[in-house]
Amino acid sequence: MSTPLPRRQFVSTLAVGGLALAAAPALLRADPIPAKVKVALIGCGGRGTGAIAQFLAACKVLGVEGEVVALADAFEDRAKRLNETYKLPANRVFVGYDAYQKVMATDCAFVLLATPPAFRPVHFAAAVAAGKHCFVEKPVAVDPVGARAIIASGEVARSKGLAVVAGTQRRHDASYLRNKALIDAGVIGALRGGVVQWNGTVPWVRRRAKGESDADYMNRNWLNFTELSGDHIVEQHIHNVDVAIWFLGRPPVSALGFGGRARRETGNMFDFFSVDYDFGDGVRIHSQCRQITGTAGRVGEFFTGAEGSCYGAGKVFAKQKYETPVIKLDTDDSMVQEHVDLIRGAYNGKPLNDARQIAETNLAVILGRISAYTGDLVKFDDLLKHEKSPYYNLTAAVGPLDFEKGTVKLPAEVPSIPGKA
Ligand SMILES: NC(=O)c1ccc[n+]([C@@H]2O[C@H](COP(=O)([O-])OP(=O)(O)OC[C@H]3O[C@@H](n4cnc5c(N)ncnc54)[C@H](O)[C@@H]3O)[C@@H](O)[C@H]2O)c1
């Protein structure tokens, strides 16, 4: 059997004690949102550029001023490019793998984490330790150890009264919220199953530049390495699996999946996955994702209930008559709304804390990947609770701390092979 991700020693700084003890909730009071809200960004790429603009747009929606106080990126060119927009002084633009630590020492109240996912557990733990409210882009981890570290840091955030919002924007979208409300009202009866899909193209590939180090090549081409992205079932399809978990109100019990690769030209990820998620009580969700340019695309979710069916955000097919609930949000843009909800919650005494929720969804997609990489039927609790499971302490062969320490060794650019020879 080939291993889904090469295992290595348990990284104690990542594993903040497995499941944290239930933290006492902080006594929170409601305060007005300050006239000026200070924010910093870690990861100045495509999503970070969007997220910081959306955070500032959310400040406008809330009638306050947003101020960018620091930018950080592993690479100087990325940080400099974004700073052409914000024009911060040089001592507020941090570069390198320890740049996140310098952000934590600034006076930002909020920090947006938008690096490749593998770095999220370490960056999130540092942000929570520094008392920052956090926007954490999905995914938040690439392995079970990282996902459990997010849960543990989330409990610390709760005890400190910090707001944590994940970049699963469908949960802040009026159409999805409407269908969720209709399902909860029983309009299509108890959910029995469904299909969730992200079938599309390879988003991008970056080939190795002449003389480039292993670390630089791997990170600049992170979207094609499982160690940094989690593979596309984790990195991209997480959105659709999240909708299934949200609508059903629970994570899956187990997964049996397969996948493979024929077309991908760099890295070590699969081209496609097909996973049968068993949610218990006779409920099954089929998850399907593919990144092959030139094939039919379909992205979305479809659910079947005892008395009807519905899309994640679209049409509802119900036998009974029903009234469509009116979902009032602050903006039609779910990627601005998520920041409105983050900021508002940070001050109104009811901070959102998505840490456990996003970590559980993240574990579910890692579960699908492990099943497909190995050929095993894998249980959700093998990743969350069963310490003796061979998958419980799975960590990537190249981890975030290797980048900080400069000990990155490029993994083989070949995919896992399921089954036993
Ligand atoms: N919610 C959504 O719909 C959505 C959409 C796209 C991407 N994302 C997520 O956003 C994250 C970023 O994706 P992207 O498309 O912006 O990728 P990107 O490659 O464009 O940007 C990532 C940036 O992080 C920087 N970086 C890498 N390692 C770093 C480190 N250790 N410290 C500081 N900076 C570091 C890179 O240099 C790069 O500038 C990913 O987790 C991705 O899955 C979410």
Each residue's pLDDT expressed in tens, for the chain with a length of 421 residues: 344 554 443 333 333 333 333 444 556 888 899 999 999 999 999 999 999 999 999 999 999 999 999 999 999 999 999 999 999 999 999 999 999 999 999 999 999 999 999 999 999 999 999 999 999 999 999 999 999 999 999 999 999 999 999 999 999 999 999 999 999 999 999 999 999 999 999 999 999 999 999 999 999 999 999 999 999 999 999 999 999 999 999 999 999 999 999 999 999 999 999 999 999 999 999 999 999 999 999 999 999 999 999 999 999 999 999 999 999 999 999 999 999 999 999 999 999 999 999 999 999 999 999 999 999 999 999 999 999 999 999 999 999 999 999 999 999 999 999 998 7
The answer to whether the CB of 318 falls within 8 A of the CB of 304 is no
CATH architecture of 36-170+333-353: 3-Layer(aba) Sandwich (3.40)
Residue 22: per-residue pLDDT: 41
Taking the centre of ligand 1 as the mean of its atom positions, its distance from the CA of residue 48, in whole angstroms, is: 6
Ligand 1 site, residue 100, Cβ cutoff 6 A:
yes
Ligand 1 site, residue 402, Cβ cutoff 6 A:
no
Q: Who's near 102: CB < 8 A, 6+ residues apart?
A: 70, 72, 94
Residues of the chain with CATH 3.30.360.10: 174-321+363-405
Residue 14: per-residue pLDDT: 35
Query: How far apart, in whole angstroms, are the C-alpha atoms of residue 259 and residue 199?
Result: 13
Residue 7: per-residue pLDDT: 43
Residue 8: per-residue pLDDT: 42
Structure letter (DSSP) for residue 16: S
| Residue 114 neighbours by CB distance under 10 Å | 26
Residues of the chain with CATH 3.40.50.720: 36-170+333-353
The answer to whether the CB of 291 falls within 8 A of the CB of 271 is yes
Residue 146: per-residue pLDDT: 98
Ligand 1 site, residue 93, Cβ cutoff 6 A:
no
Give me the torsion for CA of 51, 55, 56, 59, rounded to 10°: 170
Q: What phi and psi, each to the nearest 5 degrees, are found at residue 309?
A: -155, 165
Taking the centre of ligand 1 as the mean of its atom positions, its distance from the CA of residue 220, in whole angstroms, is: 10
Taking the centre of ligand 1 as the mean of its atom positions, its distance from the CA of residue 335, in whole angstroms, is: 15
Residue 5: per-residue pLDDT: 55
Ligand 1 site, residue 48, Cβ cutoff 6 A:
yes
Closest ligand 1 atom number to CA of residue 49: 16
| Residue 131 neighbours by CB distance under 10 Å | 12
Query: How far apart, in whole angstroms, are the C-alpha atoms of residue 96 and residue 77?
Result: 11
Nearest one of 208, 232, 230 to 220, comparing CA atoms? 208
Ligand 1 site, residue 40, Cβ cutoff 6 A:
no
Nearest one of 173, 163, 121, 139 to 13, comparing CA atoms? 121
The answer to whether the CB of 325 falls within 8 A of the CB of 178 is yes
**Check whether domain 174-321+363-405 has CATH 3.30.360.10, yes or no:** yes
Nearest one of 16, 61, 45 to 113, comparing CA atoms? 45
Ligand 1 site, residue 59, Cβ cutoff 6 A:
no
Q: From the centroid of its chain, how far is CA 326? A: 28
The answer to whether the CB of 341 falls within 8 A of the CB of 61 is no
Taking the centre of ligand 1 as the mean of its atom positions, its distance from the CA of residue 275, in whole angstroms, is: 26
Instruction: Give nearest CA residue, ligand 1 atom 39.
Output: 45
The answer to whether the CB of 5 falls within 8 A of the CB of 396 is yes
| Residue to mutate, 14, 54, 73, ligand 1, most ligand atoms under 8 Å from C-beta | 73
